Each structure stands twice: as C-alpha cells, then as structure tokens.
Amino acid sequence: MICVLSGGTGGAKFVDGLRQVMPPEEITIVVNTGDDLLWWGLSVSPDIDSITYVLSGLLSRERGWGVKGDTFLCLQAMGQLGEPTWFHTGDRDLAVHLLRSRLLAEGKTLSQATSTISEKLGVRARILPMSDSRVETLVDTPSGEFSFEEYFVQRWYQDPVNSVRFAGASDAEPAPGVVEAIVSADAVIIAPSNPITSIGPILAVPGIRDALLRARGKVASVSPIVGNAPVAGPAGILMDAQGLPCSIAGVARAYEDFLDLLICDVRDARAAEALRGSGLRVQCSQTIMRSAADRAELARTVLAHTVRGPGAGQTLSENSSSDETAAHDADQP
C-alpha cells in the first residue's frame, strides 16, 4: 500500500504515473482541501476533483483541470444572469459539485461524499480528504486577505504575498483513515505539489505530521521545484513568503522533520550534492512530466527507491492516454 499526499496539478500528474505502474487499489491519496470553496452555493473541492478525474480518466489534459471535452453553457448562462464567472466550472464538472453539495446537505461528511462520487466514477484507488472539517487557506497580500482560489484564479497570483495561514486547521481532525494510511503504508510519497498551499494545509491538520513521524515506510518527496523555480504556479512566491528558499533545499526544509528521501530533478544535481552533506538521502531523476510515459517513469523510479517487492518498478498497465498534448504544465485554469 502506497500513500500519497497531494494537491491537484503536479500531484494529479504524479498520481496518473502511479496508477499506470501499480494496482490502483493499493494507492491511497490524502488530498488537500484548503482550496475548497462555495461557488454559486455549491461545495467545490478542486484538488479532490482533479485527483478523482485523473483516476477515472476524465481529467482534461489540455487544461490540467476539469473534465475533458466539457462544455461551459451554465457558466455562460450565469454570466448572463450577472453572477461571477472567474472560477470556471464546466457542465459535467458542475454535476459533481451538485452531487457533492446534495450529499453534504443530507448530512454526509466530505469523506463519504468523496467516496460515493469516486465509486460512481469507477475510481479504484482510495481518495481521502485531509479532513472532514473546514480548513481554509488564506493568502495575506498588501491588497487584503484572499482565499487561495481568489488569489490564484481570480487575481492570477499577481499580488505580492505577506503570509499564508490555514484558518480552522488547529480545530480540525484528520479524516477517517488518513492517519492509518500514512502510518501503515509501505511508503508515503509527497507528490510534486506546492509545499505551502497544497501540502502545507495537510501538514497543518493536527495529527498528520505526527503520523508522518511514526510512518512505518519511508517518506519520500518529489520536488516541485526544478532549477530554483517551480515547474508552474506560485510556489516560489509562497515559499519566499514563508521564509523558505525556492530550491530543493527549501523543499527539504519544509519537510525536514519527517523526510527520508528527496527526489529532485537531474538539473539540480549540484544542489543535491550539497544537500546530501546535511545527511538527507537525495536521488536525482527526470522529474518533468510532459507525457504519460514521463509520469509512469517517475512513479517507477520513486517506487524503486522507496519500496521493494511486487509492484515496484513493474509496469502493470501501460494505459497511456492517446490524447496527450504538450500543454501539461498549465498550472492555472
């Protein structure tokens, strides 16, 4: 059993690699919910949706979010009604938000709603929200404090950032199964996700850091930072705001209390050598995931360095999608 901690973009690409090289039933993904928002009165969980869509084969690879081939008629109609349209939700995507909202209104937890939706979409891996309680990532800027989606999508992450906080985190509990999944996994893999706003909220839930410290398997992270810059998105600005250098050393520092192994890009070979001096195990590999084959290869490499035995490094299904495009690094809607 492999446990992955993930956001919704770099994380989804990595999860796509994993599901190609091992049985999906053996993967548990603990997903960030700090970006969740109420949109037109509906409960939207952007990272859970991306992970659900990638695992059900529905994710739009061109956009990197939402459902492939989706239409946007409702968005258009809402615009005509004078409603906000900065957060793009396709029509099929909306069906998922409607179902989630109904399940939550009936008293189901986010975990239960997530499991119902993923089951209906044929997902065989286990997707767990980090918590069933509301934890909200808030980004403080000179223009005010914004939710993550306001900062990222509405304002195109153009604001300088003073700090980031996770409202509600101190009162939150890990969702059922999260601590057990981390502690008992053969390996815990921190996906190449934003260390501040994707992995940060997960680590801010009391009990999760402790579970990582108690993990039976190795804890490895794939760096989302390559050559002192994020592959895409605002991770550099946000790391800087939180006092971390935008480098593989900054990623290592974000996870220093529990990390056994850092997988970084071959381009960071020199920085890797310096990090090894501090005692951390660092492995250089090709980490840019442009194609399905890149993703599978990275997943295979990570498994080979963290677990041994069945599944490690063995390709079970090369179900690489035929709709690959070069535009995989779009880290924005």
Binding characters for ligand GDP, 229-268, by CB under 6 A (x = yes) = -xxxx-x---------------------------------
Q: Edge to edge, what strands does the sheet with 2-6 contain? A: 126-129, 27-31, 2-6, 187-190, 218-222, 261-265, 281-285
The three-point CA angle 56-61-64 to 5° equals: 95
Q: Which is nearer to ligand GDP, 105 or 326 (CB)?
A: 326
Q: Is position 201 an interface residue for ligand GDP (rule: CB under 6 A)? A: no
Cα–Cα distance for residue pair 126/25, rounded to 1 Å: 7
Residue 108 has which token pair? 């189901």
235 touches 161 (CB < 8 A): no
Q: How far is the CB of 277 from ligand GDP (least distance, A)?
A: 23
Q: Which stretch binds ligand GDP (CB under 6 A): 73-81, 84-92, 222-230, 302-310?
A: 222-230
Handedness of CA 79, 83, 88, 89 (dihedral sign): negative
36 touches 134 (CB < 8 A): yes
Q: Is position 95 an interface residue for ligand GDP (rule: CB under 6 A)? A: no
In the block, which residue shows the tokens 């399940």? Answer: 103
Q: Is position 60 an interface residue for ligand GDP (rule: CB under 6 A)? A: no
Q: How far is the CB of 77 from ligand GDP (least distance, A)?
A: 27
Q: How far is the CB of 309 from ligand GDP (least distance, A)?
A: 26
Q: Is position 198 an interface residue for ligand GDP (rule: CB under 6 A)? A: yes
Question: Could you list the residues that contact ligand GDP (CB under 6 A)?
Answer: 6-11, 13, 47, 191-194, 198, 222-224, 226, 230-233, 235, 287-289, 329, 331
